[in-house]
Structure 1
């Protein structure tokens, strides 16, 4: 009988790769056996029967799952919600660095497979996979009411993304939001925006730190936010107050529009503030992700 290429599954005896001496893994502390045990066999180079099937290439077919790639993105999922990990693919060279994750997979019967570089690139649909790809369960967005009930007292900042769609911009926004401690990403009721593998990789772990919140009707969402002390600040290219020249509310929602069309004019009218980022005038404006970072940095500086 041909042996399954999957490790940690019901058909194979789970393998526990040996630790790499003298290396500190960013994936957490290594579990050490209470009594000496023989070293497990080293993983062999991928055999023909361990190659990736065409059905596995590209996005996972289960819409409840998403395909992540990149060390920091997968590290963040493993640290916060390891039970979401469904499958793991990695290069043989990554085995020493991924010891805690692989041991967890073996202990919890989560399949992992050592594959070739070409296969990993196809699985990720990217050359920026950093040696590891994982299929994980998506985390459903919270409702606005649920998020508001869990807010701590005091200053809170959130980002309302109105029309932002580029996954790399979303990833950069998530990274800045995590860095400055933003409370949430607010998504309009009809927004198709969702976390993708590309966005999660660019976020470098930030996607696990900032929750997504799905809004209802705009007017209802605005009323709910104002009821707990939030002011809404429309970010505009022209005609707004300088974000550097005025105090920002302790509880603020920055409403960020798309780069092409900007934000919805009706939504902008409903906001309490109109803010701009003045510059040299040599370019019309900043990239939406860069502008978001400036807004978050200025709000944070006023709280320090």
Structure 2
């Protein structure tokens, strides 16, 4: 039986725009180009996922603070244990940290017993005292919130203008806790923040003294004055003698940066200028030592 071939279009030239049949080489080329485009899209997606993971890790790290030192870690445990995320300790510290370890077990917070070298690496310091902890960072509160909740009566706070050394910051926090300071005030754009080194030097004082973020200097000064505070600029020379001057019941000591001193406009905007008299054998005290003397003088006159 004869089979007639199916009807086919004539083999003449095709009109422009007509689709041409794909040869095997062209099909293979198209498949390769499709595979390349798919691989490129997958690579972009993988990069996006990697960037998102890296961003999440950076956010987590910025939200956490690595503390070290027995008093610094214990202070967090006693005031806000829910902030503790992970604990590392030397075996010799187990007896002293029993309450904290029991709390970690009860609340499913991980802890590890590690050797001295690991603690040194974790803390990036040899002053870890056998314990390191990752804790949630406590962000500074606004000046409005702080003033709203501040009790009436004598109050003292410290305004830090440009102070950046973490050891000085820690020493100031320790003195502030000792003398009952109401807050450490940080300028709007200050990069100063609590670090592991500052918390260790503060010996628990970092948990006792709140950090407060100010707004614009002129607005902050107006708010503080409205709350009954007198601003006292502390200067090396030319101020009233701290030990004979009348220090108001509600005082803000304004302390300048190490070396450069405080901003001149800020100093001029203050109500008082105070100096700590000395022998002249050295130019001045460092900012942390000066803070301790100033706070002692305020407390003595209460």
Same fold? TM cut 0.5: yes
Tell me, which stretches of 5 or more residues in structure 2 are unaligned?
1-57
Aligned to 1:89: 88
1:233-272 aligned within 5 A: 233-272=232-271
Aligned to 1:203: 202
Aligned to 1:192: 191
Contact persistence 1:60–1:66 (CA under 8 A): no
1:73-222 aligned within 5 A: 73-222=72-221
1:266-285 aligned within 5 A: 266-285=265-284
Q: What are the superposed Cα offsets for residues 91-131 of structure 1, whole Å, 9 maximum, x if unpaired? A: 11111111110000000000000101000000000001000
State the 1:61 CA deviation. 6.1
Residues in 1 aligned to 2:279 and 2:151: alpha-carbon distance in whole angstroms = 38
Aligned to 1:41: none
Residues in 1 aligned to 2:267 and 2:220: alpha-carbon distance in whole angstroms = 14
SS in 2 for 1:199: helix
Contact persistence 1:183–1:211 (CA under 8 A): yes
The structure 1 segments of at least 4 consecutive aligned residues displaced by more than 4 Å after TM superposition are: none
Give the alignment's Cα RMSD to 1 decimal. Answer: 1.1
SS in 2 for 1:159: strand
Contact persistence 1:162–1:263 (CA under 8 A): yes
Residues in 2 aligned to 1:261 and 1:176: alpha-carbon distance in whole angstroms = 22
Normalization by structure 2: what TM-score?
Answer: 0.80
Normalization by structure 1: what TM-score?
Answer: 0.80
Contact persistence 1:144–1:221 (CA under 8 A): yes
Higher helix share: 2
State the 1:259 CA deviation. 1.6
